[in-house]
Amino acid sequence: MADRYLNFTGTAPGRFLTRRLGLPQPSALRRWTPERPQLEGELLHLTAGESAYEKDLASIFARTHLKPTENSASSRPAAVVLDATGISDTPGLALVHAALHPVVRSVAENGRVVVLGAPVSPSDHHQAATQQALEGFVRSLGKELGRGRTTTLVRMRSAPAAESTLRFLLSPRSAYVSGQVIEVGDAEPTAPDDWDRPLSGRTALVTGAARGIGEAVAEVLARDGAQVVVLDVPSAQTELIRVADRIGGTALPLDITADDAGERMASALAPGGLDILVHNAGITRDRKLANMPAERWNPVLDVNLTSVLRTTDALLASGTLNRGGSIVATASIAGIAGNAGQTNYAASKAGIIGLVRSLAPGAYAEHGVTVNAVAPGFIETKMTAAVPLFIREAGRRMNSLAQGGLPVDVAETTAWLAGASGGVNGQVVRVCGQSLLGA
């Protein structure tokens, strides 16, 4: 369903009226298109304190489609990257202010502000306090920027391992990701042969792919070069085949709650195995707990969580997931902040977050597979279109970008996690326009 308020605020009368009334003034987000796949303009590279990554970062920025500069007099930079990895005491925070205060207003519409930080030290409480302070700073800045601009904090141990993450954040693909904190480890990265098709030669399986977010994920993975197997329940076979035909993939009608679903998935993928597993299938059966019978509780937990645990265990145990592969699961901000009438759904999505955080270290150490999650906020789908008008409008406006996201926003984030280096592991990235709910 079209966002009429967003369209109205894009007109001269709409801008005048909403400004006079003090109402949100969202800007139409610039997303990836074949005609305009990159942000365009200058990338202002600033440093607060000393940095061990200056040369590596300069090399990475030179490989983007932006024009790197260290001249803060640049009139309208498309992106600002502030390297604050070297600050370790509170006076260093004054350097963050001094670097960004003069330039933050000049960032172009739909621009990016990325702050680079260091991992929080468990043994140096001054460094820990200072680096943790960057999180509050970035989250607050994201709520101030407006005009479609986003901000992110990237805590990194290695600049080369962060290249895929920086490319994602400095592109239109990250349009609905803001106010997030992303940890990047020091795993040795393997750069793709073609950054425009970073998943070439990989096989992906997407569950719940007949429609909505799953369909968008399958499309973006295929666009990025993957051979995609789309999975959904047998009753959705017609729609599933249509998606598979459109993206040049393979349809696999299968009930993932079946006890042998993991084994059947593995059999369908032989002999090449699987490089990317996207757990997207999910259902809702909303009702307040006092009015929720077991018939509404159990299916949600079975589809959204139990099947994810069971099939993941089976595919890892059978060796179907290739080394260097990735698992990306779909959580939700409901699993972070809770939601009235969704105790079952929120429990299942919080369970996904627990799965990711627990499984990620061991899966990478034993199988060479990363495990991450996306946590969508208010996404414009058929499900949200059926929500009552005032609740739907509240969902759209209660984020820093003052609008709902699109299925492609979740898909772009999933594709980045699917192709990122092993340095991005155990992360839960919210795709919510920096929702005002949750952390």
The residues annotated with a catalytic role in the active site are 345
- What's the burial of 101, exposed, middle or buried (CB within 10 Å: 0-12/13-18/19+)? exposed
Report residue 412 CA to chain centroid gap.
7
Contact (Cβ atoms closer than 8 angstroms) between residue 315 and residue 279: no
Neighbours of 127 (CB within 10 A): 18
Q: Strands 67-69 and 42-47, how do they pair?
A: parallel
Q: What is the CA radius of gyration of the chain?
A: 22
Burial 10-47 (b: 16+ CB within 10 A, else e): eeeebeeebeeeeebebbebbbbeeeeebbebbbbbbb
- What's the burial of 76, exposed, middle or buried (CB within 10 Å: 0-12/13-18/19+)? exposed
Contact (Cβ atoms closer than 8 angstroms) between residue 424 and residue 417: yes
Q: Can you read off the two tokens belonging to residue 160?
A: 């080369």
Q: Which residues contact residue 245 at a Cβ distance below 8 angstroms, ignoring those fewer than 6 apart?
A: none
Between CA 369 and CA 360 the distance in angstroms is 8
**Cα dist from 139 to 114, 328, 434, 438, whole Å:** 11, 24, 8, 12
Question: CA nearest 306: which of 279, 285, 337, 342?
Answer: 279
123 residue type, one letter: S
Contact (Cβ atoms closer than 8 angstroms) between residue 432 and residue 176: yes
Please write down the long-range contacts of 101-106, taking CB distance under 8 Å and 24 or more positions apart.
Answer: 102/72, 103/44, 103/46, 103/72, 103/74, 103/77, 104/80, 104/141, 104/145, 106/74, 106/75, 106/76, 106/77
Residues forming beta bridges with residue 428, ordered by sequence position: 373
Helix (H) or strand (E) holding 390: helix 389-397
